[in-house]
Chain A
């Protein structure tokens, strides 16, 4: 069965600083990987996704993520964080042929200090 681990429950960064949110997955084959952002009381917005090909994926809002098969990781990065980036971030994995069911990590709460 697939699983996702987000080791950091909370992260605080200063506005303008760089950001990296960690995500490790467990899956027997090449997974489909996603990062979603959730603002309080809201649904999920897709930031970026990896299916195949280039392991460095560009997303919306200036985010990027890199798939590293050897480390089973899909870390999310942003070079300069904005105060509006404060939210909950979820990494998710989907299985090929799994019918679009996703397994989510526990999430990382990002706080941005002005």
Chain B
């Protein structure tokens, strides 16, 4: 199956700094990628849809100025958490659809801890 690689796997940062997370489709092109957030013991919640060459679409309640998304190429989307705060600590995971009608392949996720 298709492979989606996410980097880094974990990161610790200080409050007020910014962190960039990369999501790459390794063996296929993805004009769309999805970013999810998962708090401890909870399910995955869709944050935004990343669109290659255009602006991302954010879900209700997600601050677009805080979670900057860039989809600069057909194989790379980045999520930048700006001015991070401890409440942003979470597991962030991306997905990219392959040729199937609704199937998406997930990266391994990034554990962000803001101290």
Contact = CB atoms under 8 A, between A and B. Distances in A.
Given A43-B6, A51-B101, A101 B108 contact: no
* From A95, A96, A100, residue with most partner B Cβ within 10 Å: A100
Task: Classify the interface of chain B: helix, strand, loop or mixed.
Answer: strand
Category for how many chain B residues contact A = 20 to 34
B102 A95 contact: yes
Contact of B42 (A32, A100, A106): A106
Contacts, number: 65
A32 B102 contact: yes
A42 B10 CA distance: 11
A107 to B, nearest CB: 5
Contacts of A106: 42-43
A90 B41 CA distance: 12
Interface of B: 1, 6, 32, 34, 42-46, 49, 91, 93, 95, 97, 100-109, 111
